[in-house]
Amino acid sequence: MNMKCLIVDDEHIARKLLSDYVAKVPELELVAACSSALQALNHIKQSRVDVLFLDIQMPDLTGLDFLKILPNRPATILTTAYSEYAVQSYELDVVDYLVKPIDFDRFYKAITKVISLKDSKIDDLPNSAFSQQIDKLFIKADSKIIKIAFHQIVVINGQGPYVQIITADGRKIMSLQSMSKLEELLPPNFYRIHRSHIVNIDHIDSIDGNTIRLKDHVAVLSKNKRDEFLKLIDQLNLLGE
């Protein structure tokens, strides 16, 4: 289910920029872009709003005052040209605080916080049909955000400042991403066998010395990782007696 977004900013240029950013992320859907807090209040009363992008300095009613009167606040990301409101804003439990001008990378980082918060809340619901581990990764590639299911990832190769994600259906996705950062986001069945390779253990066909074969791909196992990796394989009951 897409997250519904509401943008509130008295500046047309700011509303247009955020609207364009929302359109780039497949999991987001724009409800409206409002020029005042009072206009936004009507949309919140009439529609479901999951994410609120809220400017602080606006005529009639400031963003902070608007937050104080909302009974059920959506996940809120504040946007402002001034950094001095940061402490006050976090006292209102906002998810993130973006200082203008806002670039897409910073916008997307804020969205990932909202997604993580949403997933953690779902996981905490007892006996919920939605109680499950996060099973996918959202990765920025070119000007798009691509969703990749973890089970589809075969191997991830580091290529300088980029990573190449190879999937079971043959896709090769390039992204400007840190291998270390990506490693933190992956579930336990992924292992970094070399500084340039992260493999999905579920897709391993064979291990021959320091060579790991995964479908049509080959990855090299670092010598200083070999013992730890084979121990992990053994713990997962993937080695024969």
Q: Mind listing the pLDDT tens digit for each residue in 135-170?
A: 788 888 877 888 899 999 999 999 888 899 999 999
The residue with greater pLDDT, 89 or 110, is: 110
Mean pLDDT, range 80-85, rounded to an integer: 75
What residue type is 155 in one-letter code?
V
d(CA 19, CA 35): 13
Q: Mean pLDDT in the chain?
A: 83
d(CA 56, CA 64): 6
Q: Any idea which architecture 3-123 has in CATH? A: 3-Layer(aba) Sandwich (3.40)
Mean pLDDT, range 73-81, rounded to an integer: 89
Q: If one looks up domain 141-235 in CATH, what number appears?
A: 2.40.50.1020
pTM for this predicted structure = 0.52
d(CA 179, CA 213): 20
**Start-end of CATH 2.40.50.1020 domains in the chain:** 141-235
Estimate the share of the chain in helix, then strand, then coil, as percent rounded to the nearest 5: 35, 30, 35
Range in 57-61, 156-160, 168-172, 207-211 the model is least confident about: 57-61
The residue with greater pLDDT, 55 or 42, is: 55
**Start-end of CATH 3.40.50.2300 domains in the chain:** 3-123
Q: Mind listing the pLDDT tens digit for each residue in 124-136?
A: 433 333 323 457 8
Could you tell me what percent of the chain has a pLDDT over 70?
Answer: 85
Mean pLDDT, range 103-118, rounded to an integer: 88
Query: Closest Cα partner for 137 from 114, 115, 160, 117?
Result: 115
